[in-house]
Amino acid sequence: MTGKEIREWRKSQGWTQYQLADEMGLSLRTVLRAEKADNPSQSFVIWFKQLRTRVGLQKIQEIAREIADD
């Protein structure tokens, strides 16, 4: 995973770098470094993938609730 991929996902969510840092419980500086890196640290990538999965599950739950309400 590259910093570019992280940045593209963040932007697709409509998040700022600050919001991503807040969601991950990391400093803004860490997010800035990761997005600029060709190869972000392994620990950052693991945390990022966990966040991405959580966000995806939240979207699935929202859709399921909408279907159930219909």
CATH topology assigned to domain 3-69: 434 Repressor (Amino-terminal Domain) (1.10.260)
Q: For 28-47, what is each residue's pLDDT tens digit? A: 999 999 999 999 999 999 99
- Which phi and psi angles does 31 have, rounded to 5°? -65, -45
CB atoms within 10 A of CB 33: 14
Amino acid in position 44: F
Give whole-number Cα distances, 43 to 14, 15, 36, 54, in Å.
24, 21, 16, 17
Tell me, what DSSP letter sits at residue 52? Answer: H
pLDDT-derived band at 70, boundaries 50, 70, 90: confident
